[in-house]
Structure 1
Amino acid sequence: MNATLFPELTTSVIDAMKDAANPRLREIMTVLVRHLHDVIRETRLTEGEWAAAIEFLTATGGICSSTRQEFILLSDTLGVSMLVDAVNHDGGEAVTPSTVFGPFYSGEQDELPAGASILKRPEAGEPTLVSGLILDDSGTPIEGALIEVWQTAPCGLYDVQDHEQPDGHLRGSFRSAADGSYSFETVLPVSYPIPDDGPVGKMLRALGRHPNRPAHIHFMISAPGYRRLVTHIFVAGDDYLASDAVFGVKPDLIVHPTAHEDGMAIAYDFRLAGA
């Protein structure tokens, strides 16, 4: 393999971008072209393989819709989403780790009072009370933080995937109290497979990988003067904690549910980084 095969082609492509009005775009595309050309040289990519790659990307775009974003799944399953998250959200040890946003956020929901349920229909899952504090990186309570939460139903599907679920089922928005506290009722989350009936699922099977995510609840927390936090809490003991299909698990985000009256309780405090 000749690592310098046709270097003048790479140089010509990069030089052709010298007049780009956006210097950041030029910087990103320069690096992208250089690495993409190096991949082709290193692997001696065949014309058939490149055609297959184009077909794969075309199919990925073709399956995208208002309720399904296959490119986000592709980014997630290749670890790209987590890497972008990591280079943009290094808040230090004093703040709650972030993780992937995922493709199933459906917009801000109506605000509910503290302790309200995010269920819009009865579910067979174990009733669970989630509560804790919203704090800054020094441990001071943050009042009025917007806390958005969403999760799958016990069937393993989000409401946007399942026409039998009411819109907004297992989703909700809350505000932290003066002492930083928040709480809501839900059902214990379950592990579930990401959609694997499309190009990303075919890719995972070809690579000998499973599509499963460990049980979790999504959180997005924002407050004036603080960096928005996008994260999950994961349930301890889940079979897929060590092999999350989107590489989103971080040890500090694992929670241990405890018995609580007629169900379970999860306690978790979030710490936000200053803006």
Structure 2
Amino acid sequence: MTDTTATGPTTQERAETDLTNRVLASFAQTGDERLHQLMRSVVEHLHAFIREVRLTEDEWRTAIDFLTACGDITDDRRQEFILLSDVLGASMQTITVANPVVDGVTESTVFGPFFVQGAPRIPLGGDIASDAPGQPCWVEGVVTDTHGRPVAGARIEVWEADDSGFYDVQYGDGRVAGRAHLFTDDQGRYRFWGLTPTPYPIPHDGPVGHLLAATGRSPVRAAHLHFMVTAPGLRTLVTHIFVDGDPQLAIGDSVFGVKDSLITTFDAQPAGTPTPDGRDLHGRAWSRAAFDIVLAER
């Protein structure tokens, strides 16, 4: 029979609370104060969740199996735990907490699992596409600080999926396409050719995809182009630009990365329209976008 009283906890409640307290006490000798804080909070929230939903042992085993499957599918080209963090909004919440809003500063968004170190350098006006399929797109802008001063020599990493919805690393053949880095000029200006972004699904053939299907959620990301901008003395910016008018914006971005300030006009240019740098596109239509970047002080 359950022990209930009008004024105090039941025997069951005392048992659950006692267990939580004993686990918390086990971290009392943690030398790192921040680690101590993190472990205590993780335990408190995890135990509160288990108690709130009255988690069953079968459900906990299913959760363990799910996490094991995430580990099994992860390799040097695919990071299922980043996908999990993204679709739960944990990535965006961490970014939101770690990058406080500063008036006038370009907003941050998710890093994503497809950044690769060592992307080739291109000159100003160069092409990041490297024969990846898609419509050519001219992107330009200026990088400044919060005082409006141009940031010369800022390093800009850019990467994107091709028109088939894949990043180069997803092909597995060693190709490098749809990614590069460049530097701003003395006036903080940058420019390059890329591809007009299109919506695409995140990898959904693994446990994260099965989770999305089970919860009736779409794996599709709104069309976007990735940026990472670094400069001495200024806060590193990781962001995207999103395509104004993309129908996926109304449906939702699977990793919650969209911010209104990052929605950018990509102006369609009919075939035969002269390009800014005189490039011959051999009769192809193209688009252009302008994206000015403001970096916060570190």
Bucket of the pairwise TM-score, normalised by the shorter protein:
over 0.9
Counterpart in 2 of 1:272? Answer: 295
CA distance in 2, matches of 1:107, 1:94: 29
Query: Can you list the C-alpha shifts for 1:189-214, whole angstroms capped at 9, x where unaligned?
Result: 11000000000000001111010001
CA distance in 1, matches of 2:209, 2:192: 34
Match of 2:43, as an amino acid?
V
Q: Find the partner of 1:155 among 136, 160, 164.
A: 164
TM-aligned CA distance change 1:144 to 1:237, over 3 Å: same
Q: Find the partner of 1:104 among 111, 114, 133.
A: 114
Unpaired runs of at least 5, structure 2: 1-9, 274-284
Residue 41 (str. 1) matches residue 51 (str. 2): yes
Deviates more, 1:239-248 or 1:172-181: 239-248
CA distance in 2, matches of 1:194, 1:236: 20
Residue 88 (str. 1) matches residue 89 (str. 2): no
Deviation at 1:122, TM superposition (A): 5.4
Counterpart in 2 of 1:6? Answer: 16
Query: Can you list the C-alpha shifts for 1:118-153, whole angstroms capped at 9, x where unaligned?
Result: 122252x22110000011112111000000000001
**Any residues of structure 2 matched to 1:34-183 within 5 Å, and which?**
34-121=44-131, 123=133, 125-163=134-172, 167-183=175-191
RMSD: 1.5
Deviation at 1:162, TM superposition (A): 1.4
CA distance in 1, matches of 2:142, 2:221: 26
TM-aligned CA distance change 1:156 to 1:91, over 3 Å: same
Larger radius of gyration: 2
Q: Is the 8 A contact 1:150 1:219 kept in 2?
A: yes
CA distance in 1, matches of 2:157, 2:166: 18
**Any residues of structure 2 matched to 1:209-228 within 5 Å, and which?**
209-228=217-236
Residue 245 (str. 1) matches residue 268 (str. 2): no
CA distance in 1, matches of 2:15, 2:26: 19
Deviates more, 1:68-77 or 1:181-190: 181-190
CA distance in 1, matches of 2:37, 2:110: 25
Match of 1:152, as an amino acid?
A
Percent of paired sites with the same residue: 45
TM-aligned CA distance change 1:174 to 1:3, over 3 Å: farther
TM-aligned CA distance change 1:180 to 1:3, over 3 Å: farther
Deviation at 1:167, TM superposition (A): 2.5
CA distance in 1, matches of 2:131, 2:71: 34
Question: Scaled by the length of structure 2, what TM-score is found?
Answer: 0.88
CA distance in 2, matches of 1:22, 1:15: 15
CA distance in 1, matches of 2:247, 2:14: 45
Deviates more, 1:85-94 or 1:95-104: 85-94
Match of 1:235, as an amino acid?
V
Match of 2:120, as an amino acid?
D
SS at match of 1:85: helix
Query: Can you list the C-alpha shifts for 1:103-123, whole angstroms capped at 9, x where unaligned?
Result: 000113222110001122252
CA distance in 1, matches of 2:14, 2:149: 56
CA distance in 1, matches of 2:75, 2:119: 21
TM-aligned CA distance change 1:4 to 1:236, over 3 Å: farther
Q: Is the 8 A contact 1:235 1:256 kept in 2?
A: yes
Match of 2:34, as an amino acid?
R
Report the number of matched residues.
273
TM-aligned CA distance change 1:104 to 1:6, over 3 Å: same
Counterpart in 2 of 1:15? Answer: 25
Q: Is the 8 A contact 2:136 2:287 kept in 1?
A: yes
Residue 229 (str. 1) matches residue 237 (str. 2): yes
